[in-house]
Every structure is written in C-alpha cells, then in structure tokens.
Amino acid sequence: MQIPTQLRYTKEHEWVDLVSEKTIRVGITDYAQDALGDVVFVQIPTVGKTMEQHALLAEVESTKSVAEVYAPIAGKVVAVNERLSTQPELLNQDPYGEGWFCELEIEDAAAVENLLDADAYKQLTE
C-alpha cells in the first residue's frame, strides 16, 4: 500500500496535497480504493460550491459498495477532475495522481497541518 509522505490524510481515507498557499487537491487513498474494489462511477462536486469541513464532497460507486468522500477542510471547489466522469477506473489505477477529485480554495493553509501525516495514517491503517 502506498502512503506518499508529502501528503496529509484524514481518518476517512482522503488525502490532501497543498498545491498553493490557498489551494488543496483532494483524493482518496490507495487503502480506500483497494477496499472499494473496481470503481465504476464517480459523482464529482460542482465548481463554485462552498464546502464545510466533513461535508459530502463526492460519491464513489464500486462493484462492492458506494462510498462517500468528505471535504477534509472547508473551502470552495475551484477545479474538478472531469476525467473521473468517463474514466472512474483512474481511482484504482492512480489514486494519488490522475485519480484526484477536486481542488478547494481554503482560507487557512495551516489547517492542512492539523490532518494526519503519513506515519499517523500508516498506523491508522495497520
């Protein structure tokens, strides 16, 4: 299982990458995609939508179940990965790269530091 050290994580298995001082990229972890199995549908958020922390951000349907993805930090959706609409398998193939969900514009980049680091996430998943 991959757990990139430069990312931050939530207990709900989302990952966060700080792409600029005010923007984060969000996806689900390798652990989460493996638990889901083959992803067949992804409902991505709408650009412009304001999200509260822990609010429903996206839904992922797999051959095993349906999973909800939550906003790890409050913010406004400024970009979405449209490719997931036609290529949901990207979540399985490249969860930390081409399988990202969206980018959120956040108020406080320091909020990212409050999420789990790679070591803490690894302990959570063991």
Q: What percent of the chain has pLDDT over 90?
A: 93
Fold for domain 8-109?
Answer: OB fold (Dihydrolipoamide Acetyltransferase, E2P) (2.40.50)
What confidence category does residue 91 fall into, taking pLDDT thresholds of 50, 70 and 90?
very high
Residues 6+ apart with CB under 8 A from 118: 3, 4, 5, 7, 9
Nearest in space to 96 (alpha carbons), one of 52, 32, 38, 21: 32
pLDDT digits (tens, 9 = 90+) for 58-70: 999 999 899 999 9
Task: Report how far apart, in Å, the C-alpha atoms of 4 and of each of 1, 27, 70, 72 are.
Answer: 10, 13, 20, 17
Beta strands in the chain (DSSP E): 8-9, 14-20, 23-28, 39-43, 50-51, 56-62, 66-70, 75-80, 102-105
pLDDT for 50 beyond 90: yes
Going from N- to C-terminal start, the domains of the chain cover 8-109
Tens digit of each residue's pLDDT (9 = 90 or more) over 6-35: 999 999 999 999 999 899 999 999 999 999
pLDDT of 52 reads 94
Q: What is the mean pLDDT of the chain?
A: 95
pLDDT tens, 97-120?
A: 999 999 999 988 888 999 999 999
